[in-house]
Amino acid sequence: MSPSEFTTDELSLFLISLLQRDGRKSFVDLAKEIGVSSHNTVRKRLDELHKENKLRIVAETNANKMGLEILLILFSTFTDEDHSKLIDLYSVCPRVFRVGSLIGNYDVFIFAYAENRAVLESMTRGHCFYGDQIQVRDRLVLILGEETYPPFYPLEFPIVQESDESPCKVSCIDCGYFQKDICAGCPSTTHYKGPLAIRKK
């Protein structure tokens, strides 16, 4: 099939596939690889995909190279209201990079990161993901191993806010893990003592 015979959807899939392999490709390089004569064709289609909310180009992080721990937590809630509250609660957590619904024995999943194993343990045994804010039927914590492909995750490192209160309203200073310097605290608050948050000058 020649480039001129591509449908709009086929061209979109081709562009997305190329960008998934290398998000740094220029419009000119993408046009050459696809075989279209003008890079403006590529630019226009990518603009359309962005406006249609079908594509987001972001930098992803190799968690292993960064020395980070990735965890998956599954929740089983009692009611639809608890289900929605749990998703709303963790959608604002700076350590969570993916949260959503599941169909099955567990109905909510959370992907999150921690700076190291000690912080991970405090997150899962302390206030952060213990589930004491919303009652749950069951919870399963899984730590991802090194053999994952691809090894990149859409982690978002937050800008430290001038606030003592975390987005989920949990207080770091009331947490025993934080008091014992086991946990670095919430990355979005002034209490944070770890290396991953961005501090405004």
pLDDT of residue 7: 55
CATH number at residue 78: 3.30.70.920
Q: Which two tokens stand for residue 64?
A: 């292993």
Place of tokens 């992907």: 111
Place of tokens 């079908």: 54
Domain count, the chain: 2
Query: Is position 170 within any domain?
Result: no
- Residues 73 and 141 both lie in one domain: yes
CA 5 to each of CA 29, 149, 181: distance values in angstroms, whole numbers, following the listed order:
20, 33, 61
pLDDT of residue 182: 87
Query: In 10 A of CB 133, how many CB atoms?
Result: 14
Mean per-residue pLDDT pooled into runs of 10, the chain (201 residues): 57 88 90 88 90 88 92 95 93 93 96 91 77 81 90 85 78 86 86 79 59
- SS3 readout for 62-109: EHHHHCCEEEEEEEEECCHHHHHHHHHHHHCCCCEEEEEECCCCCCEE
- Residues 22 and 78 both lie in one domain: no
Place of tokens 């993916």: 98
Give yes or no for a cis peptide into 150 (omega within 30° of 0): yes
53: left (phi over 0), alpha (psi -120 to 50) or beta: left
pLDDT of residue 1: 45
- Residues 44 and 17 both lie in one domain: yes
Query: Is this model's pTM higher than 0.85 or not?
Result: no
Q: Beta 61-62 vs 152-153: how paired, if at all?
A: antiparallel
Phi and psi at residue 157, to the nearest 5°: -90, 120
CATH number at residue 36: 1.10.10
Query: Is position 80 within any domain?
Result: yes
Range of 46's domain?
3-51
170: left (phi over 0), alpha (psi -120 to 50) or beta: beta
CA 120 to each of CA 69, 182, 192: distance values in angstroms, whole numbers, following the listed order:
7, 10, 15
Rounded-to-integer distance, Cα 164 and Cα 142, Å: 30
